[in-house]
């Protein structure tokens, strides 16, 4: 059973990258629909279905595909890059950070219907560690699954990362600023990143994707269309300890200029900001 859990969640990393032209809701619906289709096919054909799952065809939907593991940790089918591992016990490749997720999955008995989970893993397409969402269901000694990457963070994720950075600054100012500028310590998550401005000098002291901005004057920052960004944000923080501001900025994941909603908060004489993007 231990091997199953490790194998199951390892292979969740292999699901396809989220399709840029669709919304997360559309991706979720498509992934779940593909899993439901695979489950119905498996109920009719049993293990003979693995051949269909492992070739390009009706069980591959753009970047989404079906994969199957057994309770011993062996990959039985895959329509994606992990097809090279079919027939092998893949449990040993699992990272220690997913062990709790394994335990949770093992606690779900057969017959419980479709389950879902979020975790973080490396995207084989771009080499980045990104959030993923997976739909899966256990059928006897098999687990069928379909998942997709989530490059767009939610408002909740943005606020959580901002609060994490504030707490870290209060505990270790120098270490936290260094970690943000070095893109370490969990302060860069998909399209979310932290930037910190000294409210006394109005200069950047840390930036999660562009450390070259450190020591530049934040008050003079403008969006790609030339509209002021730094000055109005500083005006917000002059009147309150935390706030929000909307502007246009380049998304580091998509590479496009998009709408950004930033959550702002004071931490001593620093302003800590994290924003999420929407197309």
Ordered by start, the domain boundaries in the chain are 2-149, 155-278
pLDDT of residue 252: 84
The DSSP secondary-structure symbol of 141 reads T
**Whole-number Å distance between alpha carbons of 202 and 238:** 11
Task: Using CA atoms of 183, 27, 53, 96 in order, give the dihedral in degrees to the nearest 10.
Answer: 30
Low-confidence residues of the chain, pLDDT below 70? 1-24, 91-107, 119-130, 151
**Whole-number Å distance between alpha carbons of 136 and 122:** 19
Q: Is 261 exposed, middle or buried (0-12, 13-18, 19+ CB in 10 A)?
A: middle
**Whole-number Å distance between alpha carbons of 182 and 165:** 14
- 155-278 shares the fold of 2-149: yes
pLDDT of residue 130: 67
Sign of the CA dihedral with 186 first, then 189, 193, and 194 last: negative
pLDDT of residue 7: 43
Strands (E), the chain: 60-61, 64-65, 67-70, 75-78, 115-122, 129-139, 142-149, 188-189, 192-198, 203-207, 242-250, 257-267, 270-278
Task: Using CA atoms of 239, 241, 243, 248 in order, give the dihedral in degrees to the nearest 10.
Answer: 80
**Whole-number Å distance between alpha carbons of 217 and 228:** 12
Can you tell me which residue has the tokens 């119905």? 40
pLDDT of residue 126: 61
Q: Which CATH superfamily is domain 155-278 in?
A: PAS domain (3.30.450.20)
Provide the pairing of β-strand 192-198 with 188-189: antiparallel
CATH class of 2-149: alpha beta
Cα 112 versus chain centre, distance:
26
pLDDT of residue 14: 40
pLDDT of residue 127: 62
pLDDT of residue 26: 83
pLDDT of residue 24: 64
């Amino acid at each position: 059973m231990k091997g199953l859990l490790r194998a199951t969640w390892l292979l969740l990393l292999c699901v396809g990258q989220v399709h840029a032209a669709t919304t997360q809701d559309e991706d979720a619906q498509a992934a779940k629909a593909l899993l439901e289709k695979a489950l119905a096919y498996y109920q009719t054909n049993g293990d003979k279905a693995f051949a269909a799952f492992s070739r390009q065809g009706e069980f591959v939907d753009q970047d989404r595909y079906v994969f199957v593991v057994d309770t011993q940790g062996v990959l039985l089918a895959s329509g994606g890059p992990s097809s090279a591992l079919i027939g092998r016990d893949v449990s040993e490749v699992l990272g220690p950070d997913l062990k709790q997720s394994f335990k949770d999955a093992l606690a779900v008995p057969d017959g419980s219907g479709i389950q879902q989970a979020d975790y973080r893993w490396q995207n084989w397409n771009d080499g980045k560690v990104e959030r993923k969402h997976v739909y899966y269901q256990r059928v006897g000694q098999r687990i069928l699954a379909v998942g997709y990457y989530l490059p767009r963070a939610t408002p909740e994720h943005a606020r959580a990362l901002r609060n994490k950075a504030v707490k870290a600054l209060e505990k270790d100012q120098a270490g936290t600023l260094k970690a943000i500028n070095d893109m370490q310590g969990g302060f860069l998550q998909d399209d979310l990143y932290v930037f910190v401005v000294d409210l006394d000098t109005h200069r950047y002291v840390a930036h999660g994707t562009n450390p070259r901005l450190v020591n530049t004057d934040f008050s003079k920052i403008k969006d790609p269309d030339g509209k002021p960004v730094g000055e109005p944000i500083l005006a917000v923080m002059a009147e309150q300890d935390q706030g929000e501001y909307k502007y246009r900025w380049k998304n580091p994941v998509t590479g496009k200029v998009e709408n950004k909603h930033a959550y702002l908060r004071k931490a001593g004489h620093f302003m800590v900001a994290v924003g999420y993007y929407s197309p």
